[in-house]
Chains A and B, each alone.
Chain A
Amino acid sequence: MAGSEEVLEGFLCPICVTDFKAPIQLTKHFEDFHNDDPEILKSLKDLFGKAKKKILKQDEISYSFANSIPSTTRLQRSPESNWEPQEIGMMRSHTKYFKEIRNMRLERYSTETNKLLIRLDKLLNNLPTDPVDRKVHERTIVPWIDDKDVKLCPICAKSFHVARRKHHCRLCGAVMCHNCTIFLSLQDAKKMTSPVSVQDDSAVSPTSERPISERIVRAGIGLTKLARSPSSGSLNSVLSLVNDSTGSEQHFRICTHCANLLDAREKQKAKHFDKPIVCQFYEKMRAYMKEASQHVKMYNKMWESLNEGESTYNLEDAQALRIKIAKLGENIDLISKRISVLGTRCVENPPQDQELRLHHMVRVSAMIFLKEELLSVQALPSEERYAELQKERQRRIEARIAYERQLEEEQRERSKEQRRKETWNLEIRPIMKENQPNVVLDQSQGWGPSSVAPIMPSSMDPIIEQMSNLRAYIKQARADCRYDEVATLESNLKELQSVYFTMKQSNNSDG
């Protein structure tokens, strides 16, 4: 049904009845094939001109139609959506219970880790360079298990002999074979116990009161003690120098169990600082989006008011805001683009599939945001058009006032019954005259301090002072895009100005 309609409506050649999709093509076709008849061509062109005008008119209609879609549907909505507002359904939180159990379990780990860290710290402290002295030092801090008690390596369960010798873990003192131990370099050990990183941790943690931060502090109890004596820190560094020079025995032998515990803690610490660049970009983008949507809201309000011809807001302000929104939009676009290509050029460490997908999705969402929020920002009326709108409004208001007056008048007339028509005419004229200058004053005074200021430059009239204050506020508010405030402040200013004006006039008349 629709198909046949379309053919009829197309750009048909009146002679050979073929459909050309566009007017240009049709005219061209006509010029090429039927140019023997200039009359027809001319009439055809005329027709197009008319059609164009019509279509242009239709534009507005269909545009307003597009705007009215949501409102019409709201009326048609199903009865279910008119049901009274409801609250969120039942919920139950298990977080507390979950954390109880988890803490109970993790407590065990954390005390053990703490113990190891304290020991590690003590081992590092005053570590002798001589191997024999060092062994004594180690044994005084961590009691070693007696060799004779251990027949088999507790981890791999192999027997010990000349080739597979017994070794002690320096942190827990247990015995195991060489293969089941790990060397922890002094450097790493120092990093683990270094007060600097602990301080960094605590610098991060207060901002986020989370259980994780609690645990790091918990784990660092022994270390904060260390942090209080700066001498040990310097001593450590001296020590490391010494160690470096000797070149031998630069590590502790520890068992895998202890290594795992220490490792886990390191990872936890690392997580705190691990915040990839994409996060920063993203946060920035979100901030822009938030700002932009606030501005758009404000702008729409201003737009409506301006289109009504009201003078609550300034046209220039609205224009500035529009530019600002456009700039924000550009920024959002730029950042999201950067996110979408983030790391794709990196050769050694190409981003994984999931990451790429994430970046792509962020970009898509930014595009949707731009499309739905920012592109729908409507153009402002031009200066001339705005002036027209204002005049129109003025006329409307006047008409209304006149109408109301007339009504009043008529009522009065009716109540007083008979009255001569001439007086009525006389009455209305002065009223109109009174009305006019008021309006003119309002508009001309809008931003006209120049006319006021030079007249009374010396005397610091309190009113003038207040006016200049107000102007400063307006400037500030405008800079912050709080146009609502600008509007109220400006109306205040106007009031002040008119008060000042009348005062001055009365002064003038007095003097």
Chain B
Amino acid sequence: MNLITALKFYITRMTEESGPGMKVLLMDKQTTSIVSLLYSQSEIFLKEVYLFERIDANVRNEGLKHLKCIVFIRPTKENIEYLCNELRYPKYGTYYICKYYFNNFQTLRNFKINIIAKADIKLLAESDEQEVVREVHEYYADYLAISPHLFSLGINTCSQGLLWNPVHLHRTVSGLISVLLSIKKCPYIRYQNSSEMAKRLAEKIREVLSKESNSFEFKQDSCPILLIVDRRDDPVTPLLNQWTYQAMVHELLTINNNRVNLSHVKGISKELREVVLSAEHDEFYANNLYLNFGEIGQTIKELMDEFQKKAKKHQKVESIADMKNFVETYPLFKKLSGTVSKHVTVVGELSSLVEKHHLLQVSELEQELSCQSDHSMQLQKIKELINNQQIREIDAVRLVMLYALHYEKYANNDINGLLNLLKNRGVSDKYVKLVYNILEYSGINARQSNLFDREAVAKITKKLFKGLSGVDNIYTQHTPLLNETLEDLIKGKLSLQTFPYLGSTMMSKKPQDIIVFMIGGTTYEESLTVHNLNKQNPGIKIILGGTTIHNSASFLEEIQHATSGILTKYKNNNN
């Protein structure tokens, strides 16, 4: 169930199938990001792939007939058209076409998937007048594997008016199906009852499963389960400031396909404008991904010390023996120096941002808002922070959002007062409106589990435990709702009312392989949760996926999109 391995298997198969010789990889936009997440340049060179071209590039040059071309595309209509053109005037010697799983039942409901695939293949075959195509295959690699247990589909705003955008629903279905096929699982489906979107997605998935039942005939001794949940049930997690390395980098600097753009940092050197943070190729990152910021500072220091030791060694090249030693260890040294400067820069940037925006202060209150119920004190603190000009607008807005989510039904709540404060501070209208939007998106009526009460009750016991072991970190009090859901599921105690099975079949055994999919995007904090659950429960494998991986900024965008075009009752009530 390792997603990265699954995709690597596919890519390796593609390159092996074409035999030895120089190769060029022809991709579209999405496959490019899939491949770039998996391999570093030197790794892909080992597979004899030397050139990377985009199928939608307009440049038509003479081409290199002695190259083998591996075409790796999603079979969208445009891509097939591009490919037909390419085959009519081939640039390369031979072609190996690898496509994704795809289905178009949204528009052509009556056709079986195979038939549509066949129509495309026919089109391609007819374009291949020069007989350049050797192989045509369908591979199910239609998702972005971020870590072994985490995938994303790269859809930033999947819903409109709180319902599926049809294009994105189609993309999500094919993405999820390809996850299932690539790890060879045919799961039972459970979905979140309160969410219309979850239900619809579940139905679509089952439709494909039953249509393609012969593709899904795997030997299964484990009991896989697909759990579809909706972001709307837990709007708190993506709003919080994060303190573990990966999540923090995403929150403050934004990770995009494992790449972090640092070009806005002052005085940054050229090679650090964009850094790659990939657990596959960067051991330091792999080891520190889930550590919190304090620990990272410690390990970074260790890394620095080690580096300095080596650097000193390299400064002193006096004798022939030194020189020899230098040459022999230089590649290692060079690699290390790359890692050091990269992480030092990133961590430095993070800490300067934390300091500049007083994020520790903000985060403390955020955690209190999400885990404790002390209304008057919290209200007081929020007011203070809103009036503090050093706090970013966006942070102030997030605090008000958390407050609104928590105390929506509280009799004496002062949402309007806070909003007025925001307005007085000159916070843009867009943000103020977002506070209403989030209530619409995920107000108390939309949630099926009681986010804050749950925490309040659980908190007491947790506090006791934490008090005993003495490691109460005020910045990481919050645990995502997903943790509880998954723990229940593992124990077999997940409520059938809130998470019903689709169809009448029910699983008798406790689940072993769990695939969780979060509509509306998941977060790195939840990824960490899943990682910990995997660690705590040997024998149980959990994979987490989402339409995208959110940080607070992208989540606010998601909310704005999701709530566009619907009447907001909250606004009317409150104005």
Mutual binders A and B? yes
* Contacts A78-B147, A86-B6, A90-B215; A375 near B136 (Cβ below 8 A): no
Stretch at the interface among A92-100, A301-309, A464-472: A92-100
Per-residue B-contact encoding for A75-99, CB less than 8 Å = 1, 0 else:
0111111010011111111110111
Q: Which of chain B's residues 1-52 have a Cβ closer than 8 Å to chain A?
A: 1-2, 5-6, 9-10, 13, 20-22, 24, 42, 45-46, 48, 50-51
B74 CB-CB contact with A under 8 Å: no
B128 touching A102 by the CB < 8 A rule?
yes
A444 CB-CB contact with B under 8 Å: no
User: How far apart are the CA atoms of A389 and B222 in the complex, in Å?
Assistant: 53
B61 touching A368 by the CB < 8 A rule?
no
B283 touching A97 by the CB < 8 A rule?
no
**Of the residues A2, A55, A95, A286, contact of B316 by C-beta under 8 Å:** A55
Among B5, B118, B133, the one with the most A-chain Cβ atoms within 10 Å of its Cβ is: B5
* Contacts A86-B2, A352-B62; A94 near B315 (Cβ below 8 A): no
A274 touching B66 by the CB < 8 A rule?
yes
User: How far apart are the CA atoms of A355 and B53 in the complex, in Å?
Assistant: 13
B131 touching A65 by the CB < 8 A rule?
no
Q: How far is the CB of A378 from chain B (nearest CB, A)?
A: 7
Among residues of A, the one whose C-beta sits closest to the C-beta of B182 is: A89
User: How far apart are the CA atoms of A282 and B50 in the complex, in Å?
Assistant: 12
B315 touching A22 by the CB < 8 A rule?
yes
Q: How far is the CB of A370 from chain B (nearest CB, A)?
A: 10
B332 CB-CB contact with A under 8 Å: yes
B260 CB-CB contact with A under 8 Å: no
User: How far apart are the CA atoms of A365 and B330 in the complex, in Å?
Assistant: 18
B331 touching A89 by the CB < 8 A rule?
no
**Of the residues B46, B63, B137, B308, contact of A95 by C-beta under 8 Å:** B137
B130 CB-CB contact with A under 8 Å: yes
Q: How far is the CB of B330 from chain A (nearest CB, A)?
A: 8
Q: How far is the CB of A6 from chain B (nearest CB, A)?
A: 7
User: How far apart are the CA atoms of A215 and B139 in the complex, in Å?
Assistant: 30
- Kindly list chain B residues whose C-beta atoms are within 8 Å of the C-beta of A6: 308
B66 touching A357 by the CB < 8 A rule?
no
Q: How far is the CB of A276 from chain B (nearest CB, A)?
A: 6
**Of the residues B65, B121, B313, B327, contact of A55 by C-beta under 8 Å:** B313
A275 touching B66 by the CB < 8 A rule?
yes
* Contacts A89-B183, A90-B182; A78 near B148 (Cβ below 8 A): yes
B476 CB-CB contact with A under 8 Å: no
A102 touching B13 by the CB < 8 A rule?
no
B306 touching A79 by the CB < 8 A rule?
no
* Contacts A55-B312, A271-B65, A376-B331; A102 near B51 (Cβ below 8 A): no
B contact residues, range: 35 or more
A105 touching B135 by the CB < 8 A rule?
no
**Of the residues A86, A95, A358, contact of B135 by C-beta under 8 Å:** A95
Q: Which of chain B's residues 519-551 have a Cβ closer than 8 Å to chain A?
A: 531, 534-535, 538, 541
A62 touching B306 by the CB < 8 A rule?
yes
User: How far apart are the CA atoms of A368 and B50 in the complex, in Å?
Assistant: 13
Q: How far is the CB of B355 from chain A (nearest CB, A)?
A: 14
**Of the residues B140, B330, B538, contact of A90 by C-beta under 8 Å:** B140
- Kindly list chain A residues whose C-beta atoms are within 8 Å of the C-beta of B48: 286
Per-residue A-contact encoding for B300-321, CB less than 8 Å = 1, 0 else:
1100111011101101100000
- Kindly list chain A residues whose C-beta atoms are within 8 Å of the C-beta of B65: 271, 274
A65 touching B306 by the CB < 8 A rule?
yes
- Kindly list chain B residues whose C-beta atoms are within 8 Å of the C-beta of A98: 121, 124-125, 128, 133, 136
B306 touching A93 by the CB < 8 A rule?
no
- Kindly list chain B residues whose C-beta atoms are within 8 Å of the C-beta of A69: 283
A89 touching B181 by the CB < 8 A rule?
yes
A187 CB-CB contact with B under 8 Å: no
A268 CB-CB contact with B under 8 Å: yes
B428 CB-CB contact with A under 8 Å: no
Among residues of B, the one whose C-beta sits closest to the C-beta of A287 is: B20
B328 touching A375 by the CB < 8 A rule?
yes
B45 touching A79 by the CB < 8 A rule?
no
User: How far apart are the CA atoms of A91 and B2 in the complex, in Å?
Assistant: 17
- Kindly list chain B residues whose C-beta atoms are within 8 Å of the C-beta of A105: 125-126, 129
- Kindly list chain A residues whose C-beta atoms are within 8 Å of the C-beta of B286: 73, 77-78
B42 touching A357 by the CB < 8 A rule?
no
Q: How far is the CB of B411 from chain A (nearest CB, A)?
A: 46
Q: How far is the CB of A8 from chain B (nearest CB, A)?
A: 11
Total interface residues on A, CB under 8 Å, equals 77
**Of the residues A62, A78, A215, A276, contact of B66 by C-beta under 8 Å:** A276
**Of the residues B51, B183, B283, B328, contact of A378 by C-beta under 8 Å:** B328
B531 touching A365 by the CB < 8 A rule?
no
**Of the residues A80, A93, A274, contact of B147 by C-beta under 8 Å:** A80
Q: How far is the CB of B170 from chain A (nearest CB, A)?
A: 19
Q: How far is the CB of A323 from chain B (nearest CB, A)?
A: 16
B121 touching A362 by the CB < 8 A rule?
no
User: How far apart are the CA atoms of A276 and B128 in the complex, in Å?
Assistant: 24
Q: How far is the CB of A420 from chain B (nearest CB, A)?
A: 56
* Contacts A55-B313, A91-B138, A358-B67; A102 near B131 (Cβ below 8 A): yes
Q: Which of chain A's residues 367-394 have a Cβ closer than 8 Å to chain B?
A: 368-369, 371-372, 375-376, 378-379
Per-residue B-contact encoding for A45-79, CB less than 8 Å = 1, 0 else:
00000001001001100110110011001001111
Q: Which of chain B's residues 93-141 have a Cβ closer than 8 Å to chain A?
A: 93, 117-118, 121-122, 124-126, 128-131, 133-140
User: How far apart are the CA atoms of A369 and B332 in the complex, in Å?
Assistant: 14
B184 CB-CB contact with A under 8 Å: yes
Among residues of A, the one whose C-beta sits closest to the C-beta of B328 is: A375
B117 touching A94 by the CB < 8 A rule?
yes
B149 CB-CB contact with A under 8 Å: yes
User: How far apart are the CA atoms of A91 and B12 in the complex, in Å?
Assistant: 13
B454 CB-CB contact with A under 8 Å: no
Q: Which of chain A's residues 259-304 have a Cβ closer than 8 Å to chain B?
A: 264, 267-268, 271, 274-276, 278-279, 282, 286
Among residues of B, the one whose C-beta sits closest to the C-beta of A89 is: B182
Q: How far is the CB of B521 from chain A (nearest CB, A)?
A: 21
- Kindly list chain A residues whose C-beta atoms are within 8 Å of the C-beta of B332: 66
B2 touching A97 by the CB < 8 A rule?
no
**Of the residues A92, A94, A211, A362, contact of B22 by C-beta under 8 Å:** A362
**Of the residues B9, B306, B336, contact of A89 by C-beta under 8 Å:** B9
B137 touching A358 by the CB < 8 A rule?
no
Among residues of B, the one whose C-beta sits closest to the C-beta of A368 is: B42
B13 touching A86 by the CB < 8 A rule?
no
A354 touching B42 by the CB < 8 A rule?
no
A145 CB-CB contact with B under 8 Å: no
A279 touching B66 by the CB < 8 A rule?
yes
Among residues of B, the one whose C-beta sits closest to the C-beta of A87 is: B184
Q: How far is the CB of B538 from chain A (nearest CB, A)?
A: 7
Q: How far is the CB of A87 from chain B (nearest CB, A)?
A: 7
A353 CB-CB contact with B under 8 Å: yes
Among residues of A, the one whose C-beta sits closest to the C-beta of B179 is: A89
**Of the residues B6, B10, B133, contact of A102 by C-beta under 8 Å:** B133
B301 touching A1 by the CB < 8 A rule?
yes
Among residues of B, the one whose C-beta sits closest to the C-beta of A65 is: B306
- Kindly list chain B residues whose C-beta atoms are within 8 Å of the C-beta of A59: 313, 325
**Of the residues A274, A276, A365, contact of B42 by C-beta under 8 Å:** A365
Partner-A contacts on B (CB < 8 A)? 1-2, 5-6, 9-10, 13, 20-22, 24, 42, 45-46, 48, 50-51, 61-67, 93, 117-118, 121-122, 124-126, 128-131, 133-140, 147-149, 181-184, 215, 283, 286-287, 297, 300-301, 304-306, 308-310, 312-313, 315-316, 324-325, 327-332, 336, 344, 531, 534-535, 538, 541
A-B contact pairs, 21 of them (CB 8 A): A1-B297, A52-B316, A59-B325, A73-B286, A77-B286, A78-B286, A80-B148, A83-B1, A88-B9, A89-B10, A89-B181, A93-B135, A275-B66, A286-B48, A354-B64, A355-B64, A358-B67, A365-B45, A375-B328, A378-B328, A379-B324
Q: Top 6 A-B pairs ranked by shortest CB distance?
A: A89-B182, A80-B148, A365-B45, A101-B125, A90-B181, A361-B50
Q: A80-B1, A93-B138 are in contact. List 11 more A-B contacts (CB 8 A).
A: A21-B315, A66-B336, A86-B183, A87-B184, A90-B184, A91-B13, A97-B121, A354-B51, A358-B50, A361-B50, A365-B45
